[in-house]
Every structure is written in C-alpha cells, then in structure tokens.
Amino acid sequence: MTEVLFTLTTIFVAYVVYTIVNEQKMAAKPAEHEVPKVQAVVVESIKPKPVAAKIAAKKESPVAVKKPTAAPAIPNTGKGSVRNPKTGEIATVTNNYRFTKRWIKEALVSEGLLGKVYKNNELDTATEAAIKTALLKLESMDQYRP
C-alpha cells in the first residue's frame, strides 16, 4: 500500500514540476512589440515677459538645536586572539560580546576586569564600552597571549 502511495505521489510531483516548467517556457517568449512611428510636431515657443521678482528675505530666529548625547567612544578590538591558559585553546575575540566564548567572559571576571558575566539583555552602550576596554586589557596580558 505504501509503495502505491509513494508511486502516485512521485507521479503527481513530477506532473506539477512538468507543468510549471512548461508555463515558464511559454511565458519566456516575448511578444513582438510594434513601435509606432513618431511624427514631428512643431511647437511655437512663446517668450514670457521678464518679471522683476522681489525676494523677501526672512530672518528666522535661531532655534536651540539639541545635540544628541554622544555615546562613549568604543575602542575597536579587531580580531585579536587569546589563549586559554587551562586548556591551551586559542580563540578569536570578536567585536560583539554576545559571540564571545564563555571561558573568555569568565576570564574577564576572574581577572577583575568586569564585575560579572553579563547576559545579552543586560548590555547597553556603557557596558559594551567597558567590556571592549576589558577585552583589550585581557588581550594584552601575558598569560592570555597565544
């Protein structure tokens, strides 16, 4: 019974694919497009009289423009690599804390560079700046150099 059902399903799928391919072949033939002949039309140009325009210059009072508060400068860590002193694993340090390996996050806390391991929903611009500076310090430590 399952063999018959499988055969019928295969035939139906083949039929659907066959009809779709044939419809695309028929639609691919472009219809001949007839271009109508262009007739030359002469238009008399009317010259407008010059008009003296007076432009009223309005001085607008300066509005206090509120500058957006600048986020703290986040140093670019690049693609540095660090070595796990316990296992010898060498991992790249990414710009995004979310993709940083767990042992790197724990090393940041154990070295005292961060207060805790942050969750993804706890990250904001200030903590990301602190994390990136901590990652730079971790890369510069001798025991974590590859």
Query: Average model confidence (pLDDT) for the chain?
Result: 78
Query: Could you tell me if 109 and 51 are in contact, meaning their C-beta atoms sit under 8 angstroms apart?
Result: no
What does the pLDDT read at residue 11?
Answer: 97
Phi and psi dihedrals of 28, rounded to 5?
-75, -20
> Do β-strands 80-83 and 90-93 pair in parallel, antiparallel, or remain unpaired?
antiparallel
Phi and psi dihedrals of 81, rounded to 5?
-130, 150
Domain boundaries, the chain: 80-144
What does the pLDDT read at residue 14?
Answer: 95
Show the low-confidence residues of the chain (pLDDT under 70): 26-38, 40-45, 47-79
At residue 81, the 3 state secondary structure works out as strand
Closest CA to 139 of 95, 98, 87: 95
